[in-house]
Chain A
Amino acid sequence: MSATETSALAASATAAAPPPPRRAFTGRVTQGNVLRSEWTKLWSLRSTRWSLLFAVVAMAGLGVLIAAVSMNRWSHLSPHEQATFDSIDRSLGGYHLAQLAIGVLGVLVISGEYSTGMIRSSLMAVPRRLPVLWAKIAVFASVTFVSMLASAFVAFFAAQAILTEHHVNVTLGHPHALRTLVGTVLFMTVTGVLCVALGTIIRSTAGAIATFAGLLFVLPGIVDILPSEIGNSINPYLPSNAGGAIAKAVPDAHTLSPWGGFALYCAYTVVLLAIAAYLLVRRDA
């Protein structure tokens, strides 16, 4: 059969066939629907489950380990160390490590879509684009907040139970305990959001993770080696120090107030998020 005959047949078949019965699909793209979709996306990846498991173990376990080691070595601590022993910070010390996992996962939530091409499927389904970003942030921030809050409580109570050995334990009723605990979790959550923004802006996983690490872990080290008069005036405004202020029971010298610092950290995140939103809408996918 020649090519023309085939296409003529196809044409006549097309003309004769009735239009297919349309399904009763009446759904539209709504923010709620996109939230469900992002929930599925988050949990259907192995990397998510492993990163979250790592963060939970680090957050819940490291503080307890530090408390146990401290009690074991208590008699070797100097009197000054014993006097300034901060039972709240020690119990929540796992957040430094957990935050790394949360940040990496935050980047992957979006950069993983760019590296695999999935972003095109996502944006074809949700062509207005922004609902995807908001849904990713809402889902990831809630998962981070809930899992880290639970882990932080476990760490706090378990560590305090261990610290009773030398009677340095505190209760949740301690003036700074609850604020520090919830503040630590909020700091980590906002870090997660900041990393989603970085991933959206930079698109490459490696680039975004490097930026995240540079911003939070390298920058303070660089400022530390500046002359102290300059360093001290910059230090409080660094993202890590501003955000970290709320995660410390007793503020360091040269830091912002817990909530003031946290507000500044949120402001940094909002600025990055605005850039991310602008670029997501404007750039070719």
Chain B
Amino acid sequence: MVEHRTPYGDGVIDVRGVSKRYGEKVAVDDLTFSVAPGVVTGFLGPNGAGKSTTMRLILGLDAPTSGTVRVNGCAYRDLSAPLHEIGAMLEAHAIHTGRSAYNHLLALAQTHGIPRSRVEEVIELVGLREVARKRVGSFSLGMGQRLGVAAALLGDPATVILDEPANGLDPEGIHWIRNLLKNLAAEGRTVFLSSHLMSEMAQTADHLIVIGRGRLIADTSVAEFVRRASSDANVRVRSPRAPELRETLIRREVAVHGIDEGLLEVGGLSGEQIGEIALAAGIVISELTPQRVSLEEAFMSLTGESVEYHASAAVAEEQESEPQGRENVRAPA
């Protein structure tokens, strides 16, 4: 089979003007982004934003209504050995429950002529050796997740796609997933990782693609994302002459709150500006700290308008694209 790889974009995964409709519902709306090689890219969005749909489009499982998706410059369907190029774990476990973990992986390996030794290796890697011969139907959620990761790594792909890998896991499982992601990144693999929880991304991602209601909201580095969100954040100022400084600042028509004795929180001015004002007034400042907005807050402020279903509507709309088990919202870490 001859492969036609055309220079298409810079990314390992290139999504260009992709839309996907299911009947009336627009799941993905004119989405364009690239996943850069060798870094961890987080794919963020509230539940129902179209993350899983986008991943299915990348993996050739669903066909886009319009637009194109390329993996290593190739439509996924034209890859002659997809498991060697891109390994994926989808959120809904794509595993026959009547088969043992070993046989599941073996059947997948055989499609590419991957040896049995590699099957044993990935089983060992994800720590499923003891239960490898048991039927998958008896697995806990965490074990199923590990099996999904094993399947994704089977062909030793340079790119790994994981859809909500930490979803529904216990703390130990989440810890395991985080270590795994760190290892994958350290090995130089490209990782494309979806989540509806910003705090998960903070642990590993370098770059963020944020979507809401199927549309691109942000395509930015994690640092830039936080910086942008923090630009209008408050600044904490500590000064032995706080009341005087307060009077000076209030004349500038900025928001000043006294927090404690000798401690102010100022909104609407940068730390630099406050420093200059204090200098001009001859007031000593002992501390000047811009209040960083947490990633979670930045994410919430960015996607606030694009959350498709707010809590009150969530029950009625539950049948929409995101399957069960995703509504368990955890407190931000």
Contacts and interface: CB of A to CB of B under 8 A. Distances in A.
Interface of A: 2-4, 6-8, 10-11, 13-14, 17-20, 22-23, 25, 27-30, 33-34, 36-38, 40-41, 44-47, 112-113, 116-121, 123-128, 282, 284-285
A13 B94 CA distance: 32
Contacts of B151: 121
Contacts of B81: 25, 27-29
27 contacts: A6-B203, A6-B204, A7-B202, A13-B185, A14-B188, A25-B81, A27-B81, A27-B84, A33-B113, A34-B110, A40-B103, A41-B99, A44-B100, A44-B104, A45-B96, A112-B96, A117-B95, A118-B95, A118-B96, A118-B99, A120-B92, A124-B83, A125-B82, A127-B59, A284-B62, A284-B63, A285-B62
A126 B79 CA distance: 9
B106 interface: yes
Given A28-B1, A117-B94, A117-B95, A124 B155 contact: no
A40 B107 CA distance: 6
B98 interface: yes
Interface in B76-90: 76-84, 88, 90
Contact of B99 (A44, A119, A120, A285): A44
A277 to B, nearest CB: 15
Given A28-B1, A128-B77, A116 B186 contact: no
A284 B56 contact: yes
A45 B98 contact: yes
A282 B61 CA distance: 10
Given A40-B106, A127-B76, A128-B77, A33 B61 contact: no
Given A14-B40, A25-B112, A127-B79, A7 B95 contact: no
A46 B135 CA distance: 10
A10 B185 contact: yes
A44 B132 CA distance: 13
B107 A8 contact: no
A116 B83 CA distance: 21
Contacts of B292: 2, 4
Contact of A116 (B56, B97, B187): B97
A30 to B, nearest CB: 8
B196 to A, nearest CB: 17
Contact of B156 (A14, A25, A116, A127): A25
Contacts, number: 171
B62 A7 contact: no
A284 B61 contact: yes
B158 interface: yes
Interface of B: 1, 38-40, 56, 59-63, 76-84, 88, 90, 92-100, 103-104, 106-108, 110-114, 118, 151, 155-156, 158, 182, 185-189, 199, 202-206, 222-223, 226, 292, 294-295
B115 to A, nearest CB: 9
A30 B188 CA distance: 29
A135 to B, nearest CB: 9
A124 B59 contact: yes
Given A7-B223, A25-B155, A116-B96, A37 B61 contact: no
Contacts of A23: 118, 156
Given A10-B40, A118-B95, 6 more contacts: A4-B223, A18-B188, A20-B158, A45-B96, A117-B90, A284-B63
A14 B186 contact: yes
Contacts of A46: 98
A46 B134 CA distance: 12
Contacts of A3: 199, 202-203, 222, 226, 294-295
A33 B187 CA distance: 29
